[in-house]
Structure 1
Amino acid sequence: MNIKGKTALVTGASRGIGKAIALELAQQGIKHLLLVARDRQRLAEVAAEITNMGVKVTTLSVDLTKSSSINIAIAQAWRTHRPIHLLVNCAGVAHQAPFLQTQLPKVEEEISINLLGMMTITRLMAKRMANQKEGTIVNVSSLMGKVAAPTMSTYSATKFAILGFTQALRSELAGHNIKVIALLPTLTDTDMARNLRLFRWVMPMTPEKVARALISGLYKNSGEILVGWQSYLAVWCQRIFPQLLEKILLFSAPTV
């Protein structure tokens, strides 16, 4: 996909990977960015930074746990700013705890934002992209969508689900000229990750590296974009030595 002169909508754009992706899209020649997040103030700060780069910006303060709000926001955005060529689903939360100690409200939040909110906005956007016979959808999963991690059971479950959803959607939407891509970064140095206890030997990467990998993958029309050598090593080990990887993960997992 050539992003120059196009319009993109990015969720979770107020911080972390979403913010880095929005900034990288602006640097690479996107024409118009629609930024979605709950935090209105932080969203405005990101928008101001991008506006200074000469890119048109529209902010949408939306809570992805509220389907009615998503419906209204997307309908208005499409009516005013269409065509929208690229959707990047980056919004997400992570809570860390051994499963027997998990709290139901936190489980529900992870599923609601990471999975249900993403599916809701994707459905609304994909219908409109199908009508215009053009579009690209990027769903941000994680290395934990390939290799599940102890103390991150619900998060891993949502990321596995995102990957499966992406694979199914890729086939379903191909006839409408819509590409569907999964982005799978390893642990990334974001506000969310700083609240987690890290696994031994894992070295976080920067959000900017993840954003650059996405842009490269878009130009190559990749179906899945793994980011970082640790991701490739873990996936390779999962395929060849799954029992060994399971022992490594158990040994390296933090005590929470």
Structure 2
Amino acid sequence: MSFNFQGKTALVTGASRGIGRSIAHRLALQGVRRIVLVARNAQRLAEVAAEVQQLGAEAIVLPVDLADPIQVNVAIAKAWQRHGPVHLLVNCAGVAHQTPFLQAKLPQVQSEISTNLVGLYTVTRLVARRMAVRREGCIVNVSSLMGKVAAPTMATYSATKFAIVGFTQALRSELAPYNVRVVALLPSLTNTDMVSQFDWFRWVKPASPNQVAQALILGLQRNQIEIVVGWQGHAALWAQRLAPSLVDRLVRLAAPPVAQPQRPYSTHLM
């Protein structure tokens, strides 16, 4: 059964920019009545809230650092109490650092894991429990094509996105008896400010955030459990199934060049 957007309440994390912002716009255009906008930057959230309201939906601004579980617990509980149940949760918040593994710094690794995984888990746990009691709802976890085909220079990011795919699959089975749908959204490289300073992979044409948002809406209407964005994403996944070793070689050819270390790395933890 396709998701009915009319009159519903949605909560979107990472809503201050990029894909999250475009998803908030699209949900408003689809007739969602209220959208809870979650991100760290209150000023950017206020701008998105004004845009959402112009598109006909009520906007609730919720500045939260998803890496802080206590802050998230309090914010989600208050939002549910004040604004009613959430029918659609879109976990879009994410952090990415493009760094060769041998040069990666632990704070960057911790940042990606705490936001991409722990933050997503914390929000989902709080909302899913409430959805299960009501026996209705839909959860969308935004992974990535890198959650299926890992990318050099993006090791930790790829690891978190693979984990999101596995988490989504497990949750889908667990929450099915409660009439709660769980969906994975798999964009390929998307042209957002988060990746504007990255060395892009050769032969990859980036999608726009609006294309990703449109794919999400269409996928929910078609009752898809994994929504792959764009023909390049579909081609990469088919190739991965049929010829994984070939895909591995192509990924290495497409990846940005990695500078060789000038001296041996210390064995001490940094």
Mind listing any 5+ residue stretches in structure 2 that lack a counterpart? 259-270
CA distance in 1, matches of 2:232, 2:180: 30
Aligned to 2:125: 123
Larger Rg: 2
Say what the alpha-carbon RMSD is for the aligned residues: 0.7
CA distance in 2, matches of 1:125, 1:195: 34
CA distance in 2, matches of 1:140, 1:54: 25
Give the 3-state SS of the residue equivalent to 1:33 in structure 2: strand
Q: Does 1:21 align with 2:35?
A: no
Per the TM alignment, residue 47 of structure 1 is displaced from its structure 2 partner at its CA by 0.3
Per the TM alignment, residue 195 of structure 1 is displaced from its structure 2 partner at its CA by 2.1
Give the 3-state SS of the residue equivalent to 2:5 in structure 1: coil
CA distance in 2, matches of 1:178, 1:122: 12
Give per-residue Cα distances to partners, 1:57-88, cap 9 Å, x unaligned.
10000000000000000000111111210000
CA distance in 2, matches of 1:174, 1:162: 18
Aligned partners of 2:37 and 2:62 also within 8 Å: yes
CA distance in 1, matches of 2:214, 2:235: 20
- What is the TM-score normalised by the length of structure 2? 0.94
Aligned to 1:151: 153
Match runs of 1:181-196 below 5 Å: 181-196=183-198
Per the TM alignment, residue 51 of structure 1 is displaced from its structure 2 partner at its CA by 1.1
Deviation larger for 170-179 or 44-53: 44-53
Deviation larger for 45-54 or 202-211: 45-54
Match runs of 1:79-94 below 5 Å: 79-94=81-96
- What is the TM-score normalised by the length of structure 1? 0.99
Match runs of 1:68-79 below 5 Å: 68-79=70-81
- Aligned-residue identity in percent: 62
Match runs of 1:204-215 below 5 Å: 204-215=206-217
Q: What is the number of equivalent residue pairs in this alignment?
A: 256
Per the TM alignment, residue 7 of structure 1 is displaced from its structure 2 partner at its CA by 0.4
Runs of 4 or more, structure 1, over 3 Å off, are none
Aligned to 2:9: 7
Per the TM alignment, residue 241 of structure 1 is displaced from its structure 2 partner at its CA by 1.1
CA distance in 2, matches of 1:165, 1:154: 16
CA distance in 2, matches of 1:138, 1:163: 11
Give per-residue Cα distances to partners, 1:114-133, cap 9 Å, x unaligned.
00100000000000001111
